[in-house]
Amino acid sequence: MFKDLNPILHSQLRLAVVSILISVKEAEFTYLREKTDATAGNLSVQINKLKEAGYIDVTKTFKDNYPQTICKITPQGVQAFEEYVRDLQSYLNIKK
């Protein structure tokens, strides 16, 4: 039976962020913005949603007086992404 896709991940920008973070150890906010072509405001909102869901860890630091936001996927985020991909596969198989 087809399982509903995780609504937190089934969103273009949030999925893009998690897809990047799944393949790296950690990434800075500016890197995510550059790779996703998103606006800072929109990206910030979506990162907060992922953080609230427990899918990513966000660390804010200062380097040479400039704020730095570093994002890292959590084990819960990895599990959610894997489940999302599995659901996606089963959905696409049913469609075929």
- Residues found near another protein in the complex (CB under 8 A): 5, 7, 10-16, 19-20, 22-28, 30-31, 34-38, 42, 45-46, 63-64, 84-85, 88, 91-92, 95
Least distance (Å) from another protein to the CB of residue 16? 5
Contact present, 48 and 83 (Cβ < 8 Å)? no
Instruction: Give the span between the Cα atoms of 64 and 35, in whole angstroms.
Output: 24
Residue 85 CA, chain-centre distance (Å), reads 13
What is the enclosing helix (H) or strand (E) of 33?
helix 29-36
Least distance (Å) from another protein to the CB of residue 66? 9
Least distance (Å) from another protein to the CB of residue 39? 9
